[in-house]
Amino acid sequence: MSPISSRLKNGLILSVLWGFSHTAFAAAYDLREGVTEMSRRIQGLHHLSLGVCVVVGVIVFGVMFYSIFAHRRSRHPKSADFHESMAVELVWTVIPILILVGMAIPATTALIDIEDNSDADLTILITASQWKWHYQYIEADIGYYSNLATPTAQINNLEPKGEYYLLEVDNPLVLPTNKKARFLMTSNDVIHSWWVPDFAVKQDAIPGFINEAWTRVTKPGLYRGQCAELCGKDHAYMPIVVEVRPEAEFDKWIDDQRLARELASGQAVADREKEWTMAELMPIGEQVFLSNCATCHEPDGLGQGTTYPALAGGEIAIGPLEVHLDRVMNGKADTEMQAWAPQLSDRELAAVITYERNAWGNITADVVQPRTIYAAR
Amino acid sequence: MVTRTEDLIPHRSPLLAFIARWLLTTNHKEIGTLYLWLSFTLFFIAGAMAMVIRLELFQPGIQFVQPLFYNQMVTMHGLIMVFGVVMPAFVGLANWQIPMMIGAPDMALPRLNNFSFWILPFAFTLLLSSLFMEGGAPNFGWTFYAPLSTTYGPPSTDFFIIGVHMMGISSVLGAINIMVTIFNLRTPGMTLMKMPLFVWTWLITAFLLIMVMPVLAGAVTMVLTDRHFDTSFFSAAGGGDPVFFQHVFWFFGHPEVYILILPGFGIASQIIPTFARKKLFGYHSMVYATASIAILSFIVWGHHMFTSGMPLMGELFFMYATMLIAVPTGVKVFNWVATMWRGSLTFETPMLFALGFVILFTIGGLSGLMLALVPADFQYHDTFFVVAHFHYVLYPGAIFGTMAAVYYWLPKWTGHMYDERLGKIHFWTAVIAVNLTFFPMHFSGLAGMPRRIVDYSPQFVDFNMVSSIGSGLLGLSQVLFLYIVIKTIRGGEPASTRVWEGAEGLEWTVPSPAPLHTFETPPPFPPVMESDVNE
């Protein structure tokens, strides 16, 4: 037997029938094992139900194919004349019920454990919006946004795609090992769904409601997932990355975040005191625009039809400054244009508005200062 | 004396006469033909949209369409396939066959029948026109979850809402007509428990339709008033609940998926005994199993919403109820197999499609059982595993079922035998392509690929390439189907009255092609079958 077909055969027999997933073959075709107790139990449940389905399929199709072969007209010219049998009907009603009970028991016990959200060691509020995640550590009072980090050039096939194309973010969620982390999920706009396959956690984030889920990860590492519920244009571009660190490193990370927040507030004061020039703001603004605004308004500021209006020569971008400031900072209600004031710093907002008013042939010559933004908040 | 539509049309210009004939017809066979051609046309339109989807997914990155347009394709493909292809195809088959199978001269309400059909071209023109509007067509998936469809829906959402209302009215009227026909126009002697199974499954489907289409109408109406009249049914900010939308939608949506499959069960139950030359093994249990599936369909809707934050008790209830559906479904599959057992089987194209239906639908049913297990569903939900599952039940189920029916009854409709060699080529191409397209989706889903995404991580590329190649072949195989149908209409070996050696039932006692008006007086039942065979 050739190595490939023997690997194929081994993989099939092992993974499908008995649920071992050690061969390379099985790993590519199997539900992943993951890194939590729940993900492993769910994989076991998957193997059980798949095994039952394969056995049922083999028996039913086996009988059928035998009949197709042996009872075809050329071999079996005269058909039998039997029909209606209460006994047979009872047998093929009762046996499936017993099999179903056998599957329902482990599913029920696993589900009861999954739905037990009590006794968490730390709680993280996950707020979804189009098309990013916000993580808030309730106890440590730290919060930040997590955005797609894959460059647009890779998406548009202008650059080779990286190893973690579409599964990379700027700021991953950080979790400690061996702690029960409870997630509270909600959304600011439409329904999203937070899913990390290695944790077997998938929970919808619904505007106006808070859902719960939890995980406990034993192995440090980077785990990747995606938004699972259609949430508009950039549904494909809303990845999740979780970095699990040993407990001591996690504590240090929390301290670092607190320090960084203080430094940032010092930086914000300095930004307000400084008089910025257009030459300083434009490159910062361009960067902010490309990473936050260009997905809808396009890098050339031409937008996409009436849904995502053009900024080049756009009514607001060359109109009165106050209106422009208000639109960027507070967004437009009930549209995908969200409020950016909570998401960007004074300097970033000042820079991006300055950029929009002076790029792509817009010539307002307005230079927006961070202190103007601060005053408008 | 019967007044006939064709006598009322003045013979002026042939074009005018042609239009008037089809616009004004109240004949069940002509209206059946109209339904089937509408379905066939929309099948190619929605299929072309699937081709766009598969073309974009052939490789990671954005190649052919922008994300917003991709979402429109996903939405329109689903809506048109469900409401424009499968449902009209089944109503078309019902129109042609039910009166002939129960020995009725026509449908009970012929003018209503004409109205039910002629709503549809307008409904779909309205829906398709949204592709050319500012802001594009609906882009929130055929499930139109709030608030993506309410607050964030494009302006064309209103056209979608009116279109769905029109389709709903058409479906309800069609269902009422079918129920009234079946209850009142059966030939004397044909009691309910002697009706052909296709008629039984359609009767049960009609009940499902009149119960759930109004629920869908309620859902779209609430979306409309949330959008324009300041109500907050689905907005938490106003005291409503986005999850309430999902409950309403799936209360419609789950019976709906059985609407899309039950007539297919009926078709398989007509065809398999014919080509096994043996009676259906358990007629009574088939009827009871169909009814059980229909009743259970009303208490399982929550299994579409396991990740929406449902309480433990709700999850358990919907899991157990969903698993129970496997029992009557199993009864049906076992019955088909027992019918074949020790029969005298031949494998003409209708039989091939019916067997393809049974095998591949069973695969889809088994993956449905896997999806019922809530903890595992947390991993499968909203991934390509689900896409694989429902395409396995819908393509080999509803579509292969319809194709089996068309090959089975086309000689009766046209008076010509189709080209058996081409029919077999069509079957084998389609069955290979269906598996090539949809089987790898199980694996991409298990590997972690969410559904409805325009772009994906390169780890999923192999599975997606195979799916895309398969879908291209699948699309081509249906062009062959179109060719076969047209060729059969234009000519071919004349079909006999009974057409198939093992065929039983009243429709095989009328000449081929079936005259425009059949059974103006009730035929005797059980029918006297001619034993002339076309060979």
Enumerate the residues of chain B whose CB falls inside 8 A of the CB of residue A100: 323-324, 326-327
- Are residues A209 and A126 located together in one domain of the fold? yes
A255 near B CB under 8 A: no
d(Cα A19, Cα A53) in Å, to the nearest integer?
13
A235–B68 CB contact, under 8 Å: no
What's the DSSP call for residue A110?
H
- pLDDT band at B385, cuts 50/70/90? very high
Q: Quick check: B155 and B134 in contact, CB under 8 A?
A: yes
Please tell me the total count of domains within chain A.
3
Enumerate the residues of chain B whose CB falls inside 8 A of the CB of residue A231: 148
Backbone phi, psi, residue A187, to 5°? -140, 155
- Are residues A221 and A328 located together in one domain of the fold? no
Whether B258 sits among the annotated catalytic residues: the reply is yes
User: How far off is chain B from A8, nearest CA to CA, in Å?
Assistant: 15
Tokens 């056209």 label which residue?
B159
- Are residues A66 and A132 located together in one domain of the fold? no
Q: Tally C-beta pairs within 8 A across A and B.
A: 286
B324 near A CB under 8 A: yes
B338–A195 CB contact, under 8 Å: no
User: How far off is chain A from B282, nearest CA to CA, in Å?
Assistant: 5
Q: Is the pLDDT assigned to residue B216 strictly greater than 60? A: yes
Whether B414 sits among the annotated catalytic residues: the reply is no
* CA within 13 Å, CB half, B3: 3
- Are residues A88 and A132 located together in one domain of the fold? no
Active-site hit among B304, B391, B416, B426: B304
At residue B1, the pLDDT reads: 42
Q: Quick check: A88 and B339 in contact, CB under 8 A?
A: no
d(Cα A60, Cα A63) in Å, to the nearest integer?
5
Whether B320 sits among the annotated catalytic residues: the reply is no
- Are residues A126 and A108 located together in one domain of the fold? no
B450–A103 CB contact, under 8 Å: no
Could you read off the pLDDT of B96-107 as tens digits, one per residue?
A: 999 999 999 999
Q: Between residues 281 and 300 of chain A, which touch chain B (CB distance below 8 Å)? A: none
Whether B256 sits among the annotated catalytic residues: the reply is yes
B450–A212 CB contact, under 8 Å: no
User: How far off is chain B from A60, nearest CA to CA, in Å?
Assistant: 8
Q: Is the peptide bond before B527 cis (omega within 30 degrees of 0)?
A: no
Helix-, strand-, coil-residue percentages of chain B, each rounded to 5: 70, 0, 30
B323–A166 CB contact, under 8 Å: no
Enumerate the residues of chain B whose CB falls inside 8 A of the CB of residue A98: none
Query: Would A357 be classed as within a structural domain?
Result: yes
d(Cα B516, Cα B105) in Å, to the nearest integer?
10
CA dihedral B253, A197, B441, B468 (to 10 degrees): 110
- Are residues A280 and A246 located together in one domain of the fold? no
Question: What b/e string do you get for B479-505 counting C-beta neighbours within 10 Å, with b at 16 or more?
Answer: eebeebbeebbeebeebbbbbbbbbbb
d(Cα B51, Cα B57) in Å, to the nearest integer?
10
Could you read off the pLDDT of A222-259 as tens digits, one per residue?
A: 999 999 999 999 999 999 999 999 999 999 999 999 88
Q: State which residue of chain A sits closest to B450, comparing Cα positions.
A: A228
Instruction: Using the Cα atoms of residue A114, residue A18, residue B358 and residue B356 in order, give the sign of their dihedral.
Output: positive
Q: Is the peptide bond before A131 cis (omega within 30 degrees of 0)?
A: yes
Q: How many CB atoms lie within 10 A of CB B288?
A: 14
Q: Is the pLDDT assigned to residue B532 strictly greater than 70? A: no
Long-range contacts at A107-111 (CB < 8 A, ≥ 24 apart): A107/A45, A107/B319, A107/B373, A107/B374, A107/B375, A107/B376, A108/B316, A108/B319, A110/A38, A110/A41, A110/A42, A110/A45, A110/B375, A111/B312, A111/B315, A111/B316, A111/B319, A111/B374, A111/B375
A92–B334 CB contact, under 8 Å: yes
- pLDDT band at A343, cuts 50/70/90? confident
ipTM of the complex, rounded to two decimals:
0.92
User: How far off is chain B from A9, nearest CA to CA, in Å?
Assistant: 17
Q: Quick check: A246 and A146 in contact, CB under 8 A?
A: no
CA dihedral A251, A254, A258, A259 (to 10 degrees): 70
Q: How many CB atoms lie within 10 A of CB B523?
A: 19
How many angstroms separate the first and last alpha carbons of chain A?
Answer: 73
d(Cα A72, Cα A43) in Å, to the nearest integer?
41
Tokens 């955005």 label which residue?
A147
Q: Is the pLDDT assigned to residue B6 strictly greater than 80? A: no
Share of chain A above pLDDT 90, in %: 69
Could you read off the pLDDT of B257-299 as tens digits, one per residue?
A: 999 999 999 999 999 999 999 999 999 999 999 999 999 999 9
Interface with B, mutate which of A31, A39, A169, A187 (most B CBs under 10 A): A31
Active-site hit among B39, B75, B149, B170: B170
Could you read off the pLDDT of B10-53 as tens digits, one per residue?
A: 567 888 888 989 999 999 999 999 999 999 999 999 999 999 99
Give, in order, the Cα–Cα distances in Å from B499 to each of A331, B269, B409.
68, 17, 9
- Domain coverage including residue A332: 274-376
DSSP states of B23-43 as a string? HH---HHHHHHHHHHHHHHHH
Q: Between residues 480 and 509 of chain B, which touch chain A (CB distance below 8 Å)? A: none
- Mean pLDDT calculated for residue range A15-24: 49
Q: Is the pLDDT assigned to residue A7 strictly greater than 60? A: no
Q: Quick check: A200 and A190 in contact, CB under 8 A?
A: no
B314 near A CB under 8 A: no
3-state secondary structure of A205: strand
pTM for the model stands at 0.91
Enumerate the residues of chain A whose CB falls inside 8 A of the CB of residue B379: 31, 42, 46, 197, 200, 202
B359 near A CB under 8 A: yes
3-state secondary structure of A321: helix
Q: Is the pLDDT assigned to residue B522 strictly greater than 50? A: yes
Domain locations in chain B as residue ranges:
5-509
Whether B332 sits among the annotated catalytic residues: the reply is yes
B288 near A CB under 8 A: no
Look over chain B and give the mean of its residue pLDDT values, rounded to a whole number: 95
Domain C-terminal end among A261, A291, A325:
A261
Q: Is the pLDDT assigned to residue B9 strictly greater than 70? A: no
A203–B330 CB contact, under 8 Å: no
Strand order in the sheet with A221-227: A173-176, A239-245, A221-227, A192-196, A201-205
Q: How many residues belong to chain A?
A: 377
d(Cα B305, Cα B301) in Å, to the nearest integer?
8
Q: Is the pLDDT assigned to residue A21 strictly greater than 70? A: no
At residue A28, the pLDDT reads: 80
d(Cα A11, Cα A33) in Å, to the nearest integer?
16
- Are residues A160 and A239 located together in one domain of the fold? yes
At residue A262, the pLDDT reads: 85
Could you read off the pLDDT of B453-493 as tens digits, one per residue?
A: 999 999 999 999 999 999 999 999 999 999 999 999 999 99
Whether B171 sits among the annotated catalytic residues: the reply is yes
d(Cα B223, Cα B12) in Å, to the nearest integer?
48
User: How far off is chain A from B296, nearest CA to CA, in Å?
Assistant: 15
Q: State which residue of chain A sits closest to B444, comparing Cα positions.
A: A29
Question: What b/e string do you get for B60-71 counting C-beta neighbours within 10 Å, with b at 16 or more?
Answer: bbbeebebbbbb
* CA within 13 Å, CB half, A349: 29
Interface with A, mutate which of B62, B74, B152, B156 (most A CBs under 10 A): B152
* Paired sense of beta strands A142-146 and A221-227, if any: unpaired
Q: Which amino acid is at B314?
A: G
Whether B308 sits among the annotated catalytic residues: the reply is no
* Paired sense of beta strands A211-215 and A132-137, if any: unpaired
Query: Would A40 be classed as within a structural domain?
Result: yes
CATH of the domain at A350: 1.10.760.10
Tokens 């489907």 label which residue?
B205
A45 near B CB under 8 A: yes
CATH of the domain at A177: 2.60.40.420
Q: Residue B249's closest CA among B276, B221, B277?
A: B221
Structure tokens at B421: 């060699």
Give, in order, the Cα–Cα distances in Å from A190 to each of A187, A206, A231, B10, B246.
7, 7, 6, 58, 13
CA B503 to chain centre: 24
Domain covering B5-509 in this structure, CATH number: 1.20.210.10
Query: Would A15 be classed as within a structural domain?
Result: no
Whether B444 sits among the annotated catalytic residues: the reply is no
Q: Between residues 125 and 154 of chain A, which touch chain B (CB distance below 8 Å)? A: 154
d(Cα B74, Cα B51) in Å, to the nearest integer?
11
Structure tokens at A204: 């919808």
CATH of the domain at A63: 1.10.287
- Are residues A236 and A256 located together in one domain of the fold? yes
Structure tokens at A338: 């969200």
Q: Which amino acid is at B237?
A: A
Could you read off the pLDDT of A86-111 as tens digits, one per residue?
A: 999 999 999 999 999 999 999 999 99
Backbone phi, psi, residue B160, to 5°? -60, -45
d(Cα A282, Cα B333) in Å, to the nearest integer?
68
A200–B340 CB contact, under 8 Å: no
- Are residues A292 and A248 located together in one domain of the fold? no
Nearest to B154 among A45, A57, A307 (CB): A307
Look over chain A and give the mean of its residue pLDDT values, rounded to a whole number: 90
B346–A208 CB contact, under 8 Å: no
- Tell me the β-bridge partners of A207: A187
Active-site hit among B329, B362, B444, B512: B329
Whether B283 sits among the annotated catalytic residues: the reply is no
Q: Which helix (H) or strand (E) holds A181?
A: strand A181-187
- Are residues A163 and A255 located together in one domain of the fold? yes
Share of chain B above pLDDT 90, in %: 94
* Paired sense of beta strands A192-196 and A201-205, if any: antiparallel
